Amino acid sequence: MSVTKFASAALMLIALVALIAACGGQAPTAAPTAAPVAAPTQASAAGSLVMNGAGATFPYPLYSRWFYEYAFVDPSVKFNYQSIGSGGGIAQITAKTVDFGASDAILNDEQIAKAPGIQMFPSVAGAEVLAYNLVGEDGKPITATLKFPYTAVADIFLGKITKWNDPVLQQANPDVKLPAKDIIVVHRSDGSGTTYIFTDYLSKVSAEWKDKVGTSTSVKWPTGLGGKGNEGVSGTVSQNDGGLGYVELAYAIQNKLPYGIPQNKAGEYVDPGKGPEGVQNAMADFGTALGEKLAISIVDPPGKASYPIAGYTYLLNYMDQTDCVKAKKFVEFVKWAQTDGQKFATQLQYIPLPDSVKQQVFAKLDKITCNGQALQ
């Protein structure tokens, strides 16, 4: 290169450096394809805080939806819920191996004594129906909403009514030709709040059931096949022609199982699938003063328009927590579930709490402490 050309190139380079300096002191770079993201901290990472829970299958369709939707409200927390039955949920929260439990069964004095400071928080109410699977004599599935007279359900589960065309059932359903098939009773095989509600109902309508079997999350069944969870009962019913089992209404609808309804104490048949009023009326029949436990049975209500096999379902937690962050997250979630989250309950056939019950829940939540101190 000649001296003249070298000098010319040098002058051009000096001019370029001067121009860059005037524009900010750095050479331009290619625009990034995405904004740079800082390394997430524990507080901001999606799902960085895991809340483990276990228990009732009765509200599982709703709880699953709530936990999914809440991830958009508070991405920093992830709920991991195991649908293992109320008995398992009570055992795990008692042992403090989970952050919260869930049960449809009302804790008795012995259970409360084993878990000092535990509290029940009603979340929603729901109806139990008699899901069935029955093919008629013409080879076609029967899908009518069958009616079960007042004591008939107890007599079926006692093994006293064994055929679908039993006169008691046929007279209650004159427009349906019921076949001469065995009723295959299906019940829960695990500790279950759904069973607690159902056997509580049977004990109210049948003195024989109360004396021979009683009310509990797990009983010695006089007859039938066992299924684990509402899922297991639904599946066993669907696999057996003649099957009949008790499940929360959402399970019958989701599994496209026809269901029957029991006659209430006033002699009426109220279909919970046609609206929330039947369960709302049952709640109203027993009032909304739930006491310190925040729990009450609403089976076999007296009202003419009330549905007879229904109950509240509850979240379980301790009033004094040791993990302050998790304590606060639990309170925030429950308050969301009782406000913005209620629309999902309605969509899935669950019944939101009456306002007076909701206020009792909020009052209890506001009293939760961490290591003896108020939550910040």
Which residue type is seen at 66?
W
Tell me, what's the pLDDT at 47?
A: 62
Tokens representing 376 are 């910040």
Tell me, what's the pLDDT at 130?
A: 98
Tokens representing 133 are 């699977």
CB 120 within 8 A of CB 295: yes
User: What DSSP line would sit under 61-116, residue for residue?
Assistant: HHHHHHHHHHHHH-TTEEEEEEE--HHHHHHHHHHT-SSEEEESSPP-HHHHHHST
Query: What phi-psi label fits residue 267: left (phi over 0), alpha (psi between -120 and 50 degrees) or beta?
Result: left
Question: Which segments of the chain belong to CATH 3.40.190.10?
Answer: 49-126+310-374, 127-286
* pLDDT tens sequence across 95-144: 999 999 999 999 999 999 999 999 999 999 999 999 999 999 999 999 99
269 pLDDT above the threshold of 50: yes
Q: Distance between CA 202 and CA 199 in Å, rounded?
A: 5
Tell me, what's the pLDDT at 48?
A: 84
* pLDDT tens sequence across 288-337: 999 999 999 999 999 999 999 999 999 999 999 999 999 999 999 999 99
Q: Domain spanning 127-286: which superfamily?
A: Periplasmic binding protein-like II (3.40.190.10)
**Largest CA-CA distance found in the chain, in angstroms, rounded:** 118
In this structure, the dihedral spanned by the alpha carbons of residues 339, 341, 345 and 347, taken in order and rounded to 10 degrees, is 120
Mean pLDDT, rounded, for 351-356? 96
Task: Supply the mean pLDDT for the chain.
Answer: 89
Judging by beta carbons within 10 Å of its beta carbon (0-12, 13-18, 19+), is residue 36 exposed, middle or buried? Answer: exposed
CATH 3.40.190.10 fits 49-126+310-374, yes or no: yes
